[in-house]
Structure 1
């Protein structure tokens, strides 16, 4: 197992809502290599095997000693997971899932070592808990093992009743597996093509009908998994074809149905539904409604999770795109102080740099003197170009965020009045557009890049550019990106607004 994989386990062990019992990780023998490697992983000191091996053994190329040490730490970390106390800040469903999986392991071990009575009792307890929380695969596993006990106890009626239950839950489980298959196929299509063609959308509707029929068929059980797959498939499909209003309705209706059902709904699922609504509202630029949803998410989602960071990212986008800059500034402050940035959260850290840079642009061009002042303060304390140079992961996204990086450089060169550097970047941007961006898929970006190319044609003249860019502005206003998957097409500030900022910057430069 590579060191990168151990970092994921370390994140789990470091979470505040997980309270490890007394084990080797909390017996701080700081002289031991085991502790040194573990602490180095946990604190983000080591990113690769080579870094850890060089620091601990003085060997840049990891040898046998390092491999044995890493394996030891891995085993200790995995064993620690079995001893985690998740009673603090965990949902009832998460607690139940953890307890069920742990009980299954213990019950199997008890059965294999001859403690059949204790094993049977544990299976019974686990069955009841899994049934309460609708964890179908655990229910099946418990029934299967309990039926073996009934055979040898000569309990014919109980045995045959258990077979009926097993057959019922087998059908439910098969329907759940089928629903998961449908969902994964749709996600694969959306992830690879960003949109769905009409034929694929018709297939999605057929999938939805099948799942909806199974929800009705097994309404006595009311499978949570079927309900989840149903809403995920329908919302993803509507988002992919650009029908954001219907996607929003799916999220809203699902939340309402679940809260009115007998299902124990976890805060994480409610947060997912509300996050889906928020993403739709980013697209629809409905800040007032989005703000209400954001307040709900803040009450539900633990702040120390990656999902909370994702929520803040989208809430920031909604705020800056709605020109609610004061709110965007507060979100940036919260992101900057978040503890996850201290433990190898590379991608989110890079998003933050982009967000902060674009926020500075927006603040500097605000009509509110207080916001302009804040923009200048941020700019004076933040080396934008140096920060942009660190965006190594984001710059690899050739069909998405890397465009935002190039445009960002141009914006700051314009603010500084360094037109020669703008021209240098424009040629690269033109070639980049031709090489990576399909016109039908990135129509808005293509339009905006052509507008930037006009800077050279009209020699950065404010009046000429204002006149000759009117048609492109109309094109932008009449076309929105047909997806809420903002990672694929991120306009951190809408292009119409960016063009207004560019024109205003040129006007100020001419006057100064």
Structure 2
């Protein structure tokens, strides 16, 4: 039987509770002291997690050489501080010397400075050893500007990510700042060396292209970063290689470079382990790739592989929702004969459950709900429930009240306006084709690669969905 601490940990993994009050009530009801008890439970979990950090088994195949060095250096550095505080200076100095050697090899500038500061003081003020003092003093002179550069680039990258991920943010507003930061990063990388410095530097130079969806320049920037980290075989981290390879995938799909996208997906899967978060992220792009390249049977294979992964049920709610959408598409494709078999999900597929499990469209202007509503309309077309389609069109009008503009919503608006023509034309295919010809022409004149939209907003290209809608209509 699971303890309360483990239950809380599993609940947090799955984003089970919306807030702390809900979690507290779930564990202790509405008793007078439920908050006190829950705070105590949180402290127990925190202590257990902290203690677990020092028991990490670095021999596990999950860790690269660089990651093993990272964990051991930071663990030893903590031990050095504890030993000094406990008046065990002799043991602390020996451990600090061992730690700094590894830190220099892997360019952990913060650990180098921390250990060098301790050793400089020890050999200078306490031992009077001039050569040792000068050596560690020189290390500080060398790595202090490197560390300052790392801090600076980390701050700039964090700022860009903050704006990049902000809801309803206008990315163009901070594009000029991103370009300025990229110039600074390139200069810093030309002056200093260091794994972290280059990781943040390349991350800045790539995000400037992500902001405006400049796919070709993003690919060049990522390839530059990958070449650098591959050249550092003694210190390169699979984390960096994964990061920049992963960033290439959506751009390759948008540019219809499907074979190259598949190669990057295979490479990224080789850099992570099955069941890890990154594994599921890569598989999401894999299924989108096969949707865009119209390899629907292979998309089904990806779905089945993911469903049969033990850790699938522990994915965050947002990720599970995405997989429910992929599942819905493949159920639709099965119903209309585009795939040979029905997806075998853990529970029976029900469209009503999918409709009820997404955010209300009033709160989700451009996200998953428009996809859900579209899937629903296509299912209703397949079932010839025309009166229900007319009702669903009222919900879709929420998204199409604005004029057509050449922005990130342009393709979506064209497609939704085309859907609106279906009931207006009495569900007659010939009339629908005639009345929507101009809209489709305008939509196809702006391919996905030229829009400023995330790939996830068009999981299955609107052109393919429109062809399916036409096939389901009577002439």
Aligned to 1:280: 251
Q: 1:443 aligns with which of 399, 410, 425?
A: 410
CA contact (8 A) 1:143 1:162 kept: yes
CA contact (8 A) 1:240 1:484 kept: no
1: distance between equivalents of 2:9 and 2:185?
42
Per the TM alignment, residue 52 of structure 1 is displaced from its structure 2 partner at its CA by 6.9
Aligned to 1:468: 435
Per the TM alignment, residue 76 of structure 1 is displaced from its structure 2 partner at its CA by 2.8
Q: Map 1:69-468 onto structure 2 (within 5 A).
A: 69-89=41-61, 90-151=63-124, 152-192=126-166, 196-197=171-172, 200-218=174-192, 222-261=193-232, 264-343=235-314, 345-365=316-336, 371=339, 373-375=340-342, 381-392=348-359, 396-434=363-401, 440-468=407-435
1:349-379 deviations in Å (ceiling 9; x for gaps): 1110001111233444456xxx2x314988x
Q: Map 1:485-496 onto structure 2 (within 5 A).
A: 485-487=454-456, 490-496=457-463
2: distance between equivalents of 1:239 and 1:103?
38
CA contact (8 A) 1:234 1:250 kept: yes
2: distance between equivalents of 1:484 and 1:318?
16
Q: Map 1:7-86 onto structure 2 (within 5 A).
A: 30=1, 36-44=3-11, 47-48=16-17, 62-86=34-58
SS of the residue aligned with 1:85? Answer: coil
Aligned to 1:478: 445
2: distance between equivalents of 1:114 and 1:71?
29
1: distance between equivalents of 2:325 and 2:315?
17
2: distance between equivalents of 1:253 and 1:285?
21
Segment drifting more, 48-57 vs 317-326: 48-57
1:377-396 deviations in Å (ceiling 9; x for gaps): 88x95222223322349995
Per the TM alignment, residue 302 of structure 1 is displaced from its structure 2 partner at its CA by 1.4
**TM-score relative to the length of structure 2:** 0.89
Per the TM alignment, residue 228 of structure 1 is displaced from its structure 2 partner at its CA by 1.7
1: distance between equivalents of 2:26 and 2:98?
49
Per the TM alignment, residue 179 of structure 1 is displaced from its structure 2 partner at its CA by 1.4
Q: CA RMSD in A?
A: 2.9
CA contact (8 A) 1:399 1:437 kept: no
CA contact (8 A) 2:230 2:236 kept: yes
Structure 1 residues 433 and 484: CA distance shift in structure 2, 3 A: closer
2: distance between equivalents of 1:146 and 1:438?
64
Structure 1 residues 308 and 363: CA distance shift in structure 2, 3 A: same
Segment drifting more, 201-210 vs 179-188: 201-210
2: distance between equivalents of 1:143 and 1:484?
48
SS of the residue aligned with 1:144? Answer: helix
**TM-score relative to the length of structure 1:** 0.83
CA contact (8 A) 1:335 1:352 kept: no
1:81-104 deviations in Å (ceiling 9; x for gaps): 222223202122222111112111
SS of the residue aligned with 1:304? Answer: coil
